Structure 1
Amino acid sequence: MITIDLSIVAEIIGVLILIVVLNSMLYQPIRRILKERKEKMDSIEAEAMKYEDRIKSLIEDYERKLREARQAGKAEYEKLREEAKQLEKQLLEESTKEAEAKRQELMSQLTSQIEAAKKELQAKAESFAVEIAQKLLGRAV
């Protein structure tokens, strides 16, 4: 049977002292280190989340500005394209008018040259007729 004597009490006191010593020298420092490590990891994780949110907002801002720039560029392109069409139309009209004016000028010059040639030929036609008649008849007319 088990007898309770002083050695059991000494063993119990030794175990309790060992528990107190181990608790103060081993378990508490380990718990403190684990707690500090957890707090540090939580802090790092929170900071990482903050940076991740900042990066997301910067990316969204960049994409928004890029869309706006593309829209502005497209609007400017369309505006310049329309201006170019108007300029092309205006230049084409001016060219057509200039060509028509040049054609009219050339036609009037040609008409006046034709009229001058007709008058000259009519003036010479009589002398040509006389010459031809003289050559055909062989005598002066």
Structure 2
Amino acid sequence: MLDLNLTMLFQLVNFFVALILLNVLLIRPIRNIIRQRKSVMDGMGSEAASFEEQAARRLADYEAQLQGARQEAGRNRAEGRAAGAAEQAALVSAAQQEAQTIMAQARETLRGEAEAAMSQLRGRIDEFADKAVARVLG
């Protein structure tokens, strides 16, 4: 069976001394490095989440501003169309009035020329009548 002698005691002491030395020199520093890396990673994770949140807010702000700009452009377009339609109506109305004035002047000019031609022809009725009688008789 198992003999408990002095060699086994030295081996046991040697094992515990090696365990303590390994713990002090290797295991604790590695654990500290792992903790530090974990805290750095947690910090980076929270920082990344913060950046994502800021990006989402900025994107939402940008989209809101873009929507506002689109609405503003729509209003400006509608106002421009309304102003253009009003200006067009005013121009058409002015052109119609000018055309009516020109037509009235033309009618007056033609009426005056017709009356002048009629009075000139009335003055020459006797001459035309004499020519017509001379042809019929002649």
**2:114: which partner in 1?**
114
**Which secondary structure does the structure 1 equivalent of 2:124 belong to?**
helix
Q: 1:51 offset after TM fit, Å?
A: 1.0
- In the TM superposition, 1:3-82 aligns within 5 A as 3-82=3-82
Q: Structure 2 length normalisation: TM-score?
A: 0.93
Unaligned runs of 5+ in 1: none
Q: Structure 1 length normalisation: TM-score?
A: 0.91
Provide the C-alpha distance between the structure 1 equivalents of 2:101 and 2:2, rounded to a whole number of angstroms: 138
Provide the C-alpha distance between the structure 1 equivalents of 2:2 and 2:42, rounded to a whole number of angstroms: 53
**1:99: which partner in 2?**
99
What do residues 96-119 of structure 1 show as CA deviations (whole Å, max 9, x unaligned)? 111111111101110111011000
Provide the C-alpha distance between the structure 1 equivalents of 2:34 and 2:88, rounded to a whole number of angstroms: 79
What do residues 14-69 of structure 1 show as CA deviations (whole Å, max 9, x unaligned)? 11101100001110111011111111111111111111111111111110000000
Q: Which moved more, 1:78-87 or 1:123-132?
A: 123-132
**1:84: which partner in 2?**
84
Provide the C-alpha distance between the structure 2 equivalents of 1:95 and 1:134, rounded to a whole number of angstroms: 55
Q: 1:137 offset after TM fit, Å?
A: 4.6
Output the aligned Cα RMSD.
1.3
| Alignment size in residue pairs | 138
Name the aligned partner's letter for residue 78 of structure 1: A
Provide the C-alpha distance between the structure 2 equivalents of 1:51 and 1:79, rounded to a whole number of angstroms: 41
**2:133: which partner in 1?**
133
Provide the C-alpha distance between the structure 2 equivalents of 1:110 and 1:71, rounded to a whole number of angstroms: 57
